[in-house]
Amino acid sequence: MAKIISQETFDDVVQENVVDFSMSPSEAKEETIKQFEAQGINLANIIKDLAINAETGKPVINETVDKLTTHINQGGKDEQQLLELLAVLDLECQKSLAHRVLAGKNGAHNVLTKLLDQALSADTLPTTLMCKCLQAVNSLTHKQPDIFDGEALAVVLKLLALKEQQDIVCLTLQWLQKTCIMHEMNRQKILSTNALKVLKPLLTRDNPRVLRELTAVLRFLVLDDDIRVEFGCAHEHARQIASEMLLDLVELLPAYEDANVLADLLLTIGTLAVRQELCLVIDEAGGLKHIFHIMSENLKADRLNCEALKLLRALAGHDAVKAHIVQQGVAPIIKELLDTHQSNENVVTAAFACITTLTLRVKENSAAFFDTGIAEVMVEALRMHPKHKILQRNGAWAIRNMVSRSRNQCETWLSYGVEDLLNAAMVEHPSVAQDIKAALRDLGCNVQLREEWTGTAEKKIAA
């Protein structure tokens, strides 16, 4: 078994080469690597590209954290020096995850948390210092959420209460986002506090920057991406957040015109609409009217319309809401979207999925879409993207649902050449052949169905 050493041992030898043998940092690291490799030591666990102080031979990260700790313990007043140290730490943490882990092991997270806590208790809020500190802690926490603890959460809640300090609030929300990614326990810890009560006042009509960061936090709180936890609480978290904020999010839809802000709002509402009663709440709050207006006014905004289509599909999980969606005139809007974005694979795929859900087992909904002349537009969209498997599959689903209870449509579909397109897609994408065959079958085309499994019964069934 290969021998290994610690990072501290490696750094000590580099320091010795710099101080005792007057080597440059690069020469010292090169010489140290040669020394250990000659002894048969595996250096795979060592960070070899650490910035080294040419005078002391110590890693810059270690020195910076030590200086910050000394500054806090001794109550230093030199803010400019503190800003310079924070800038160095921020830069080092941006280099790689290994650099961030090393900084965390040296106590960087505790130092930054204490520094923020001290700044909050100052007579005059040092906003520049706090922003620099938050930038550093954001860099440190990126892909390293394990370092977040209860003390940091308490500081976060205090920072979020500074509603007038937009830069500080935005950076704090970004910090909160990073702590949620791939960490179920952090998400549970956050929602076990009064965090939602603190976050809710940030849902304002006049601060799009804060709103976008806040909606990202809400979405990250309902992630289910931590493989270390057998069962997450994503559904319960979504219900908890929705009960507190869903109506406020819906009411904000008419307050903004920026397509990116609206896309984030629609995405967040769709993420929280995890229960049928919540779909009904959105409908009763006038959500459908707002969504249709946004889609009509922003026909060329592809991301915005993708999110709107996904949200409509989620809301259609409630049968009554699904009926309202079609009755209130979504079919012409989706047809116009397909006309406008035929070359955009994402919009077409989302539109097909939305049509699939809205026409499932509802003949009247199928007729509403068909009467707009959408069949020809859908066939043209399929023709434009023969290589896109999911788009072709979604298109087959939508066609199947539209014609399965409305066979009178079949002749029209076939007149546009849909049979040849579906047969070509079946050859091109064999993994979705069964989905395409279902559409061909309901269109009345000749389909070769294959029996997947046959067996012999042990006992004969009595006549």
Is residue 131 within 8 Å of residue 167, measured between CB atoms? yes
Residue 147 lies in a domain: no
Predicted confidence (pLDDT) at residue 449 exceeds the cutoff of 80: no
CA angle 264, 96, 20 (to 5 degrees): 155
Number of domains in the chain: 1
pLDDT tens digits for range 34-93: 988 888 898 888 898 899 999 899 999 999 999 999 998 887 778 899 999 999 999 999
Binned at pLDDT 50, 70 and 90, residue 459 comes out as confident
pLDDT tens digits for range 277-307: 999 999 999 999 999 999 999 999 999 999 9
Is residue 129 within 8 Å of residue 117, measured between CB atoms? no
pLDDT mean across residues, the chain: 94
What pLDDT does residue 1 have?
A: 58
Is residue 327 within 8 Å of residue 365, measured between CB atoms? no
CA angle 124, 127, 131 (to 5 degrees): 150
Predicted confidence (pLDDT) at residue 457 exceeds the cutoff of 90: no
Residue 198 lies in a domain: no
Is residue 134 within 8 Å of residue 168, measured between CB atoms? yes
Residue 88 lies in a domain: no
pLDDT tens digits for range 174-218: 999 999 999 999 999 999 999 999 999 999 998 999 999 999 999
Residue 12 lies in a domain: yes
Q: pTM above the 0.85 mark?
A: yes
Residue 13 lies in a domain: yes
Distance CA 458, CA 454 (A): 13
Residue 376 lies in a domain: no
**For the range 154-163, what are the long-range contacts, defined as Cβ-Cβ under 8 Å and sequence gap of 24 or more?**
155/113, 155/116, 155/117, 155/120, 157/193, 157/194, 157/195, 157/198, 158/117, 158/120, 159/116, 159/120, 159/130, 159/134, 160/198, 160/199, 160/202, 161/198, 162/125, 163/201, 163/202
Two tokens at 72?
């806090």
- Please list, in sequence order, all residues whose beta carbon lies within 8 angstroms of the beta carbon of residue 187, skipping any fewer than 6 positions away: 180, 220, 221, 223, 232, 233, 237
Predicted confidence (pLDDT) at residue 453 exceeds the cutoff of 90: no
What pLDDT does residue 319 have?
A: 95
Range of 14's domain?
Answer: 1-58
Two tokens at 239?
């219900």
Map tokens 């806040």 to a residue.
Answer: 214
DSSP 284-333: HTTHHHHHHHHHHHTTT-HHHHHHHHHHHHHHTTSHHHHHHHHHTTHHHH
Residue 26 lies in a domain: yes
**DSSP classification of residue 430:** G
Whole-angstrom CA distances from 304 to 262, 264, 301, 348, 394 are 7, 8, 5, 13, 20
pLDDT tens digits for range 113-168: 999 999 999 888 999 999 999 999 999 999 999 999 999 999 999 999 998 999 99
**DSSP classification of residue 154:** H
Residue 439 lies in a domain: no
Map tokens 């009064």 to a residue.
Answer: 194
